[in-house]
Structure 1
Amino acid sequence: MKKHLTIALFLISIVSFSQDLAILKYKGGGDWYSNPTALPNLIKFCNENIDTKMNEKPETVEAGSTDIFQYPLLHMTGHGNVFFSEDEAKNLRDYLISGGFLHIDDNYGMQQYITKELKKVFPNQELKELPASHDIFKTAFAFPKGLPKIHEHDGKRPQAFGLFHENRLVLVFTVESDLGDGWEDQEVHNDPADIRLKALQMGANIVKYAFEN
């Protein structure tokens, strides 16, 4: 029992004091590896604009691995199916309630799958839309209307949903925005400079919020 407590405290201390992010690899067949240039570009933007000192080559960690506890922020994306085993769901829950933060960015087509799988992580919670007044929309850059629209898919408005533990926001799910596409190299999607900047600024807000809360 004492040994398990020591390990738990060690893992919590890593989450609390490290400053890096990682890509979350998951099962189910969805393309967790989407947008390969996105996170390196976001990290570079954060290092240059909000004084982070992150490794510009993010590591990949699996949902069931204790490696996730090395990172205060995990990023997850994709277009398709997502599956968490019971052990993976427990591992993610332990990570989130011990100080970790998960950003899930729907790259289009992910919502129906991740919504179901998150019920394994927090069975008694529903995703709640974050109001435009939430601190995550103003930690570094101001977004008075909330989540910005980066790519058009179904003509729906962009939304950011959250899950909470003891009043702390531990997970943000961004939908109908496609922030990750806006973080990619310019030639990938040929987005205008102002759109890419909005995506990077909102991404920086998520990073800053995750690191400071």
Structure 2
Amino acid sequence: MIRILLADDQTLIRAGFRALLSAEPDMAVVAECGTGRDAVQLARLEHPDVALMDIRMPDGDGLEATRQIMAAKDLAGTRVIILTTFELDEYIAEAVRAGAAGFLVKDTEPEELLRAVRVVHDGDALLSPSVTRRIMAQLAMQPTAAAPSDVRLEQITEREREVLQLVGEGLNNAEIAQRLFITPLTAKTHVSRIMTKLLVRDRAQLVVLAYESGLVRPGWSS
């Protein structure tokens, strides 16, 4: 059962999401709230698997709540999907930096929302190639971007560097497998090993690292 926290300051929107999610046999809404502060408190109390987090909320916005949840050692099993009305690049980039594993606009089709919850719960990141390139192009142009010789990359093999580059381009495991002529399971194993070696929490953070290290840059395609 996927345990879900809903955080949105609009009661009607929460009600709609709750009805949609609760109708699924593998999902349960365990808590809901309308402020960032309450989102953090309820996450600590309920330890949800997935938190659907609005950005614009009173008493601490969704980005700050996400940062706090991601930083909490006792919430290592909680993953966050950011929900917002506006698909603004700065919000997406900040959401990824905050540790969010997914980003959706509120007019997303119901089927896509349900798929997103399952994808993120299974440990993947909900970042399409088009969104990934927009986000990471912005991140890569920021002064914190490191050189391509980033020492973090010295910890992984040449094959793992290839996999990380493709992750940075927004490819999923099946697409990576096709590109490198390996099985999807092998691709998944490579991604898991990379995350372990680089002490990265999830795939979204791998994408950030790929760009910040200089392994992938805007406009590049292997």
- Give the TM bin, normalised by the shorter chain: 0.3 to 0.5
Q: Which has the higher helix share?
A: 2
TM-score (norm 1): 0.40
Higher relative contact order (CA 8 A, sep 6+): 1
TM-score (norm 2): 0.39
Q: Which has the higher strand share?
A: 1
Q: Which has the larger radius of gyration?
A: 2
